[in-house]
Amino acid sequence: MTAPSNVPGSPRNAIRPHDVLKSRSGRARKFAISDGVPVEVLESGPSVAARVATLASRLTIRPVLAVGSYVPDLPWPWSLIDLASRVLLPVSATVRETVSLPNASAQLVRAPGVLPADGSRRMILYFHGGAFLTCGANSHGRLVEALSKFADSPVLVVNYRLLPKHSVGMALDDCHDAYQWLRRRGYEPDQIVLAGDSAGGYLALSLAQRLQEVGEEPAALVAISPLLQLAKEYKQAHPNIKTDAMFPARAFDALVELVASAAEKNTADGKPEEIYEPLEHIKPGLPRTLIHVSGSEVLLHDAQLAASRLAAVGVPAEVRVWPGQVHDFQLTAPLLPEAVRSLRQIGEYIREATGQG
């Protein structure tokens, strides 16, 4: 596992010059060349505002998750988070359109000034976090709006089916349905960027692997504080389990229990759904990948492991580590300066990956 550089903003392993290749649609695309080692950059910070956010999370969210993790099967009102977020979303000129999928819905988001989703330019397919259990397009509204602005792209946010009623495999099916909706809309794979935060990172990588089986490669994959490995032992043994301002060790026990229980109920031909570990299926040809993660959160383990395995098979992989931040700190944009800076970097990466300026 690689360690961050001790110089803020400096790459641990610099990317060599880009090659410019032609996509199937004739547009030039830039691809970073991998030499088998992931690029890892240590960002500056944390700011005073970030320190306050981390302390607030440690005093509020972490204790709630600690209690809830002992009784995960109780009917917790997780859906209220997204419903409440709809009320709290500020009024803006952002365009939001509901899209119907076979078993779920999605929201097509365009920040002011972004051109309509007509299949002619780039598109971000976004999978929200929330431990496969909660949140949605409303809870992630500000993050997605900022991403749309910085990437100059519409964003399709999938309201996939959630635990405990539905399985992770069913959520992945909904994400695949959203991708197919974009393809029918006229988007080519090299125009589409898969992105997600927390559990959404798992869905993004798993979908990229499903698409790889049918010969389709999206332009890039972007993951924010991603959960990329369902196995709990390595995270619970990671040093950051003591510094994570959101997740106690027991939270990962509860997550595994919920995922396994839902999978057991989702049967096909009399067999329960298998638990899928995307990091065990890394192959050459996956999309170039950018990961942003807090240096203090336990999911740093997943981020660094994923980047190492991707780079080892020739997939350009970059990890940007943000010291002292809370998990998924990009959700606090525009309140935290680091959140805005992170989303701006992601937007620039997406523009480069799609080769459309």
CB 204 within 8 A of CB 227: no
**Nearest-angstrom CA–CA distance, 185 and 156:** 12
For residue 162 the two structure tokens come to: 């959630």
Pairing of strands 317-322, 16-22: unpaired
Amino acid type, 17: P
SS3 290: strand
Q: How many residues does the chain have?
A: 357
Q: Is 23 a catalytic residue?
A: no
Which H helix or E strand runs over 96?
strand 95-100
Amino acid type, 122 = R
Of 187, 182, 158, the residue nearest 170 (C-alpha): 158
327 a catalytic residue: yes
List, in order, residues 6 or more apart from 132 with CB less than 8 Å away.
Answer: 162, 163, 168, 171, 199, 255, 258, 259
From 218, 159, 223, select the one nearest 193 (Cα to Cα).
218
Residues 6+ apart with CB under 8 A from 13: 2, 35, 37, 38, 39, 40
> Catalytic: which of 43, 273, 297, 318?
297
**Looking at 34, 167, 198, 206, which residue is catalytic?**
198
Q: Which of 140, 176, 238, 327 is labelled catalytic?
A: 327
Q: Is 198 a catalytic residue?
A: yes
The SS3 of residue 337 is helix
C-beta separation of 132 from 168 below 8 A: yes
Residue in 278, 283, 315, 275 with CA at minimum distance from that of residue 212: 283
Catalytic (active-site) positions: 198, 297, 327
